[in-house]
Structure 1
Amino acid sequence: MPPTTDSASIPIETLSISEVCNRLGITAHTARYYERIGLLHVGRSPSGRRVFDQRAVDRLDFLVRMRSSGMGISELTRYVDLVNQGESTTPERLQIMRDQRQRIIEQIRDLERALTATEYKIAVYGGAPDDTSHSPKGHHS
């Protein structure tokens, strides 16, 4: 089977924990924690080192994205348990994802309101609301 592509669009067969963590922007501690609590299954090399195949990288990427969007460990655990139970749990998994989508939409709305308030204050202080000289997009510090 040819190598597939991970979340960073780089062909892989297996990666070390440090390679995966660098690509996903997480610590090795986080990856090991997810493995320890059963959310992630990682293979081992003959010497006992963790090796991440495409499936493990994709799972870890999903876990990281869900956590960063506010999904709790208990809900992630429930979701992974349902995945492991098979296709009969699809309706419940779908509902979990719909609920999470709604939470993300609400977070986006809250962030948009915060951005509006921030832009207002920038304008009050004499700056242009679209001034990006201090934002990451403007690449200035």
Structure 2
Amino acid sequence: MHYSIGKMSELTKLSIHTLRYYEKEGLIAPKRDDGNRRIYNQSDYRWLQFIQRLKKVGMPIKEIRRYSDLRLKGDVTYSERLELLKSHLNLLDSNIDSLLKNREKLVEKIAFYEKEIDRLK
């Protein structure tokens, strides 16, 4: 199945501008038809979904580009890709720990104010 840039934008919920930016940055390389219009396929769609997941977990475009470059080099880069993903997972886990600790302190402060407001009534 083939998709125009408009259809791919609709499917991925990414703007046409973002799709063009990703192409300019070398993250995607859609084929072109005889009229030089971009043609996306299912593989492009799945790759864009993965890029979106990486962005949602905070991976910077620079690292996504590095992963993309490794991906284009084929199976011989599996170990490097694995290390890149593991490294980001460790960073993500550290951020989650920090967020949970800060959330706990926020909950404590909210409880303090609720108790104090009730006491002052």
TM over 0.5: yes
1:42 aligns with 2:30: yes
RMSD: 2.4
Secondary structure of the residue aligned to 1:52 is: strand
- Give 1:91's match in structure 2, choosing from 79, 87, 95: 79
Matched, 1:72 2:60: yes
Paired residues for 1:2-81 under 5 Å: 13-81=1-69
- Which sections of structure 2, spanning at least 5 residues, go unmatched? 116-121
* Length, aligned pairs only: 115
2: CA distance, partners of 1:114 / 1:45: 52
Question: In structure 2, how many angstroms separate the alpha carbons of the residues matched to 1:14 and 1:53?
Answer: 5
Task: Give the corresponding residue for 2:108.
Answer: 120
Q: Give the CA deviation at 1:67.
A: 2.4
* Greater share of helix: 2
AA aligned to 1:38 is: G
Q: What secondary structure sits across from 2:103 in the alignment?
A: helix
Q: State, as a whole percentage, how many aligned pairs show the same letter.
A: 31
| Structure-1 separation of matches of 2:20 and 2:44 | 12
Q: Secondary structure at the match of 2:114?
A: coil
2:97 paired with 1:109: yes
Unaligned runs of 5+ in 1: 1-12, 128-141
Q: Name which of structure 1's ranges 74-83 and 89-98 shifts more when overlaid on structure 2.
A: 74-83
* Residue 8 of structure 1: aligned partner: none
Residues 126/17 of structure 1: CA separation in 2 closer, same or farther (3 Å cut): farther
Structure 1 stretches of 4+ with a deviation exceeding 6 A read none
TM-score, normalised via structure 1 length: 0.66
TM-score (ref. length: structure 2): 0.75
Instruction: Decide whether aligned partners of structure 1 residues 115 and 82 sit closer, same or farther in structure 2, where only a CA change above 3 A counts.
Output: same
State the Cα distance separating 1:54 from its structure 2 match.
1.3
